Each structure stands twice: as C-alpha cells, then as structure tokens.
Structure 1
Amino acid sequence: MSAVVSSVTAPSTTGGRGTRPPATVSVLEVVVMCVVAVGLTIGSLLHKLQCAAPGVDFVTATRKACFADTVSLFSSRELASHVFPYVQPLGENGLPPGSLEYPTLSGIWAWLSALPVSSLHGFLVVTALTFVPVVVVTVVALARVAGRRAWFFAATPPLFLYALYNWDLLPVMCTVVAIAVAVWWPAGRSLVWRAVVVGALFGLGGAFKLYPLVFVAPFVLALLVDATASWGDRVRRALGAVAGSVGVVLVANLPFVLINAESWFSVIRYQGIRNIDGATLSVWYYAFQPWSAEDSPAFQHTLNLLATGATAVALLAVLVTGFVLGVRRGRMPWIETSAALLCAYLVANKVDSLQYALWLAPFFVFVRIRSGWVIAYLAANTLLFAGWFRHIYLQAIGTTVRTYADEAMSIGVWAQIVLLPILAVVFLRSRAVDRDDEVSVVHGAPEPQRTPTPSA
C-alpha cells in the first residue's frame, strides 16, 4: 500500500534551502503497529487478570508479577462502592473514599471504569477496553510524526508490562498528541491557537499525571526565542500556551477545590509525605543505605528535602541548557529539551516507579538517538521489573538471604540511575525526528521546496 501517513520534510540545516528526503510509513504498516500495540495491551490485561482469579493472595500475585495499581487500588480505594472521588470526607488512609492518590482526571477515569462492574475482573476488562483507543491514538500520532520509529513504542516491553499497571497511558497520549499537533498544525491556521491547543493538551496530561506540565516550559521558551517572529507575536503565542495549560488544569481541579478543598488537597499531601523506601526504586533510597532503610522520620524528612531540591536544580539546569541552545540557534530544540527534562526528573525525583518507562518511550520515538541507548534502557527496566517482583515474592515466603533476584534488581536500578543522566545529554545533543520541532513550532509546517521544472 503506497498511501503515506507520515511525510516529513524540513529545510536543510547545512546552510542551503534544499530539503532532505521525507520519512514515510505506509497506512498498512501503521495498521500493523496499532494491531501489535493493542495486542500488547490485551496481553497486559491477560497478565493482570491472573491477580483477579479467586483465591489469589499477595504471595501468588507477586510470584506471577501481576500485582499493580489497577489490581490493588480497586479494593483498597473502594472503587467497587462507586463513590464519586475527591469530594467525600477523608477516610482512614488519608484520602476520600473512592479516590486515587493521583490527580483528578485519573481518579474520574477509574471511577467511570468501575461504574458498570462490581468485581476486579470486570474492572480490569473495562479499563483495558477504554485504553484501546488511547493506544491507537498514541501510535497513530507517533507514526504521523516519526514514521517507523513509532515501533519503539508500539512493540517494546513497556506496553506489555505497564499498559494495565495503572493509568499512565492517559498522560502519555496527551503528551504525544500535543507534540504531534505542534509539528503538524495545518498551514494557514492561527499560530496563536496552535499554542493554545498544545498548551491545553499538556495541561490535560497534567490533570491525569503532573509530569506533562513540565513540557510547557520548553515549548513556551521555543515560542519566545523564535528569531524570525516579531516580539509581539512571540508573546501572544507564549501567553496562549500558558493560558491553554493553566485553563485546562483549573477546569479539572477548581470544582473539587470549591466542593471540598481538604479532600482535593489530600492527594498532594499523600504524595508529599510518602516515605522514600525500597518501593520508590530511586537513587535516594539505594544510595543512602542502610540509613534509608531505617524507620527514622528525621532522616526521611532530610531525604525528601534533598530529593525535592535536586529535582528542582536538575530541571532548571536542563531548561537553561535548552534555552541557551535556543538563543544561539534562534530556534529552541524544545522536544529534545523536554526529553532531557523527563530524564532529569526521573533520576532526581524521590520516586522512579517501574511504569515510568512508559513516559520515556515516546521520546525514544520523537528524538533521533541511537537504538543502542533505547535497548539499554528498556533492558535495564525489564530486568528491574523481573528482579523486583521476584524479590518481593521471595521476601513474602520468608527468604532472608540475598538472592539472584536482589542482584537483578540492583543491576536494574543502578543501570537506570546511570543511564538517565546520560540519556539527558544524549537527547540534548540529538535531533528530533522532524526538524519542525525547531522550525515549525513557531511558523507552521514548512512547505517542501520544489525545484522548478522547465515546460516542454
């Protein structure tokens, strides 16, 4: 089939006005990508359904490695009671009944998924069905921008391991669509409105999980450093992006604040007081052993302060680096900077959960880095997944000596800790799959340069 889904053409960066050959992918290949991605999502469902079988306890769930937020929170957060989230008085766990320890839209999505069912089995099935269009939209958007590199998302371990792990596919989709809209905004349409839409999509992602809000900053800076636009146009577009993101976040949160501010804030407080323990899989726990393993509120407070400060410094350092590159070039590599920001956040934050690999996977598609880096990170994450669950299982049955599972987990954790800052540098030194991330983010998709042909 010769129909083209993704055709990328950008001005040459070597000094001329020529073009490089477009990257293309056929409709048939995109369909196959979607089928594979949906298949992995269904595979993730079948894997998690093992934990929904009658009589499955924690030991069995960890042995089968099917334990996940979607599994545990259905009962522990009382989703079966169908109580509308974030508005009830606080429960014993410090959260309102029916509420997740996630931003409002994730909780509402889970509540809606639980409404037609009364069992964990039904909840997992409904959740998977709602994720099928999410996965398809994500894959199509990736293929539209990056062509065959979309296979790095559609056919790699994170989708199977984490599609049904929790609700992170939702902010992933919002992030991917936001970048696709920025790159493929229709020519001739208002560029201010493009900024608003992209900002709103990042804001929508932030209403599911906070991390997509980080990408608003490099996008706004890209608008401000555009050397070819007037200062007035730059400011209007930047303000449009900020207004779009802030507006969506307010719409998603303000009603809950007005109804019951304490219940709404409980999610933030819950995450803020979370201890840095072995389950966080972060550098802060493993670098400060054995003190981090002790039950010391004072040391936990210190670790939290260190993690918060280091995260802020790391994000600022990456953002400044991207900005300097943008000023020097007159156009900011905001997609590459966004990828580096995410790496900095993952390595410096107090939590680096297994499923965060899903957050990073789209940037392996968007940014043209060597496949060896992709394979190395995915291998480390997969090893960590296997080692972590085997470690928990062996602990649950009373094993006290160090085992191969502990070794695998340690290798996986430290491999990620080492790889993430390296990847941040690699992303900043690389190019997005379409140079439109530096050109058309402020101007609209460039028209291909055609060589005039003499008439017969």
Structure 2
Amino acid sequence: MSDAPTLRADRASRLSSAFAGRGNTTLVLIVSLLATCVTMWWSYQAKLKCGGPPFLEEGRSSHWPVGDPDAVIPCYSDLMYLWIGRDINNHVFPFINGGITPDGTLFGGVVEYPVLSGMLMWLGAIGADTDTEFFQHSVLLLIPFGLAVTVMLALMTRWWVLLWAATPPMVLYAFHNWELPVVATTVGAVAVMAWGSTINPRTGDRRLSVRTAAILAAILLAVGFCLKLYPGFFVLPLAIYVFTYGTSPGADGRTPARRTLDWVGAVWVAAAATITVLAIQLPFILLGFEGWKAALSFQGKRKADVDTNSIWYWGLRHFTGGQNDTYNSLVGVLSPLLIVAAFAVSVYLGWRVYQRTGLYPWIGVAASMLAGFMLFHKVHSPQYTLWILPFFVLLQIRWPVIVGYLVADFILDTTIFRLFGIYTSGSPMQWWVIGGVNLGVWVHAVLLAYLIVAFVRAPLREPLASFGRRPRPTEPDLVPARS
C-alpha cells in the first residue's frame, strides 16, 4: 500500500498551517501599525497646541509653554523647548565650537544630550524658522522609529505589541523628546538576537551564530548609548549570555557540565560595542573636544531639583531641610552608588537563573538594570516610560503591575507639567496637582523596585520564547531547544 496520499496530506496540512500563521502575522502587523499611527497622530495633535502663530522673537510661539490650560493632555514638549538656548534656532552644527560657562550654561551649539541625539536635533532644525516648524520636522524624523519598534515587537510577541502601540505612553511621549530612536536600538538588539536564533528550514541550523548575532546586537546597543546612554548598560548581560551559552551548571550548580565558557565571544561583544562608540564619538572629540566635554559637564553639574522629578527631590529633600549642600552632596554620592548596586543585583539574579536553567536571561537582566537606573538616577523624566514599555511587551510581567505603572504614569504626566506652570507663574498650588505628582512618582518607585527582581525571573512572551526551537522530524514545531 502506497504512503503517497499520507505524505501529500501531511504536506498540505503543513502548508495550510504555514499560510495560517502568515495570515495571523499580517493581521497583527496591520492592526498594530494602524494603532501606532493613531496614537502618534493623537500625540502630534496634542503637542502642536503649544505652537503656531503668532510668533515672538527667535521664532518662539506665543502659545508656549501653556497652550490650552484646560486640556487633559498637557501640550508641553521638549522638542519645542529645545528650540531656544542651544543655538538650534541658529542652525549651529552641534558640539564643534561650543562649551559651558562656569554657571553651567551651554553655548555654541552644545546640547545636553549624547552626540547622535544632538545630530538629530540639528537635522530637525534644517529649514525651520520657528519652534513649531522645528517640532514638525522632528516629528517626521521620529515617525519611522516608532513604526519600526511596532513591527519588531509585533513579530516577536504578536498581539502583545498593542501594549506598546495602543496605550497612553505613545500619546503622551511619542513626540515629547527624542526617545523613539533609542528605544528602536534596544528593541532592534533583541530582534537581531531573536532572528539569529531562529532555525533555517533548509539547513536546520541557527540563522546566525550566537557570537555573530550578539556582535550585531552590541553594535545597535552602542548606537543607542550615543543617543541616550542607557542601552549601553545592556552590553554587560549580553556579553554574559554569550560567555555562558552552550554550557550548563554541573551538579554543584557552579562548574560547567559540558563545553567551555566562551571568553572570546564575550570579549568580541564588548569590543564591538566599544569600537562602535569610539567610531561615533571620536570625530566630535577631535573636532570639538571642549564642546563634546561640555555636554558631559552639564550632566555632572545637574541638580536633582523639581524638573528632574526623581525620588531624591520628592523624598530625600524633606529630610535635609531642602535643596541645600547636604542634599546635593548626598544625591551626588548615593545616586551612582545605588545604581551600581542595582546593576550588581540584576547581574547576580540573572546568574542564579542561569544556574537553575542553564540559560542566562540577558533580556530580563537588561530590563532589571533599566528599572534600577530609572529608580535611583537623579533624573527621572516622565517620558522614560517609553524606555521600559517594550520590556512589558517582551516579558511576562503581571497585569496589575503593568496597569498600575501606566495609570500612575498618566496621572504623573497630566499633573507634573501643570506643576511647572504653577511654579513659573506663582499661582496658588492645587492639591490635586501636587498630590498627583507625588502619587505618580512613588507608585513608579515602588513598582520599579519590584521590577528589579521580577524582570529577571519573568519568562519571555510567545513566540519570542519559542524562537530557536528545533522541530523533530515527525513533530514539527513542538520540541524546545536551547536558543
């Protein structure tokens, strides 16, 4: 009796499943991209209300910075704010000829951001004569990055991408500051590692070796470091992942049971990131060292005051009698020490998971490090929610934590910028404004402390968790393998 009909039926069944899977992926992409377009359009409309004619001296809109004081979503955007005071409006090429005054004022085109963010601002200012035109040009530069993040998250997590594409942070922060490019580098690094771990159906092997994928991911993280610093921290857990890949703990939970630790691969990852950072930074260092250094000096001199919105201002200040020398000295010491300690805890917790499972959870450790950095850094701008949001998509975090974080974030955003206006104008303080700011800050602080541990232990969402599985010949797509 011939097996041909059975083989044809099996082949037809596999083809049907493949087409069904592609159809579902297409639907997810279409819906999530439409949702992203809607939230970004909403963000644009909300922020645009701070601009428009009539314009004052240097192209500043007369509506700045209040706009409609009764709007639920404050119109404030750093994109418009940056137009004045950094020579962006004068179209000065950044960092090359500038510096910083003894009182901490930047001049000559220097901005308080890493060099690639400064370059994006310079590009956004080309052809702009007003803060509103600068905002609109900047939006055009940011849109592709927001869409790219959506596509990558959709392919790795399917419908969970809507946590990114269809939640309030995209409305509040998509065009608030230059966050979307740096988020794209982080998600891109995860996507490269994920795609590299998938199985080539023709060869049955990984599409990219672990070393190759990690080197490419490290390059992306280094580019992110030159945009907003924090992705550079993730090179450490990525290098540890490569270092431990292919080994598992022995009976004592410490020594490898098979193969050897990949020292060479880990060094290559660190070297790729370092070389990339040097290649990006070196032209600015050589052509305008004082201007390049001024941006670093500005951040070093920055105080943890009301506009940095951190636990230090809303907590420690009350125990030191205000923003005095004692307060500034304590913040200057405690903030970096606690960040380093949080990083050490994240790496250690990841090692514990590796000892138990044989696989170092580099994505969870990276997210944990970010949570520690956001908690203890002296600056915690509301738009940093866009940094952590993709990790809520990638990792299985409890729903109450995600909902609590996003609700607190909405309350914080809709009160903190009203608080700035009250301080500036000298108007009477409203109880719900100061209460909303404190609620947002402290709910975030508690949840970030929890996430330092929870991120490391959280499993990946599907289908990301299944990338790298090698199917059995008779049972396709069922059997997991190391990825």
Q: Same fold (TM over 0.5)?
A: yes
Q: State the Cα distance separating 1:122 from its structure 2 match.
A: 1.5
Separation (CA, whole Å) in 1 of partners of 2:320 and 2:18: 54
- Mapping 1:302-381, distance limit 5 Å: 302-381=330-409
Q: Comparing 23-32 with 33-42, which one deviates more in the overlay?
A: 23-32
Query: What does the per-residue CA deviation read over 1:262-283, in whole Å, with 9 as the maximum and x for residues that have no partner?
Result: 2111111111111111221111
Work out the CA distance in 2 between the residues paired with 1:237 and 1:96. 43
> 1:301 Cα deviation (Å)?
2.2
Q: Distance in 2 between matches of 1:32 and 1:436?
A: 19
Compute the displacement of 1:368 (Å). 1.2
1:231 counterpart (251, 260, 278): 260
- 1:155-187: CA deviation from partner (whole Å, max 9, x where unpaired): 111111111111011110000011011011153
- Specify the alignment match of 1:210 in structure 2: 229
Deviation of 1:293 after TM superposition, in Å, equals 7.1
TM-score, normalised relative to structure 1? 0.88
**The structure with more radius of gyration:** 2
1:3 and 1:97, CA in 2 relative to 1: closer, same or farther beyond 3 A? Answer: farther
Provide the C-alpha distance between the structure 2 equivalents of 1:340 and 1:320, rounded to a whole number of angstroms. 11
- CA spacing shift, 1:315–1:435, aligned 2, 3 Å: farther
Q: Is 1:108 equivalent to 2:119 in the alignment?
A: yes
Q: Deviations over 1:124-155 (max 9, x none)?
A: 11111122211111111001111111111011
Deviations 1:345-403 (A, max 9, x none): 11111111100000000000100122221111010011011121222233344334452
**Contact 1:131 1:169 (8 Å CA) reproduced:** yes
Equivalent of 1:251 in 243, 255, 279: 279
* Residue number in structure 2 paired with 1:279: 307
The amino acid that maps onto 1:231 is T
Cα displacement string for residues 199-246 of structure 1 (whole angstroms, at most 9, x for unaligned residues): 0011111110100011111111111122447437x2232222212211
Structure 1 Cα separation of the partners of residues 425 and 464 of structure 2:
54
Matched, 1:447 2:456: no
Structure 1 letter corresponding to 2:232: L
Report the counterpart of residue 31 of structure 2 in structure 1.
Answer: 32
* Residue range with higher mean Cα deviation, 86-95 or 280-289: 86-95
RMSD: 2.5
Q: How does 1:49-448 map to 2 (within 5 A)?
A: 49-53=48-52, 54=54, 55-60=62-67, 65-90=74-99, 94-185=105-196, 187-228=206-247, 230-231=259-260, 234-290=262-318, 294-434=322-462, 445-448=468-471
Secondary structure of the corresponding residue to residue 368 of structure 1: coil
Which amino acid counterpart does residue 269 of structure 1 have in structure 2? Answer: S
**Using the alignment, how far apart are the partners of 1:270 and 1:5 within structure 2?**
55
Cα pair distance change 1:293/1:32, threshold 3 Å: farther
Aligned length: 431
Question: Aligned partner of 1:155: which letter?
Answer: A
The 2-side partners of 1:95 and 1:244 are apart by: 32
Structure 1 residue 420, shift from structure 2 partner: 0.8
Unmatched runs of 5 consecutive residues or more in structure 1: 8-22
Question: Counterparts of 1:422 and 1:294 in 2: how far apart (Å)?
Answer: 28
Relative to structure 1, the CA distance from residue 3 to residue 172 in structure 2 (aligned partners, 3 Å threshold; closer, same or farther) is farther
Shift of 1:253: 0.5
- Structure of greater relative contact order (alpha carbons < 8 Å, 6+ residues apart): 1
TM-score (norm 2): 0.83
Q: CA deviation at 1:434?
A: 4.7
- Per the TM alignment, residue 298 of structure 1 is displaced from its structure 2 partner at its CA by 4.3
SS of the aligned residue for 2:317 comes to coil
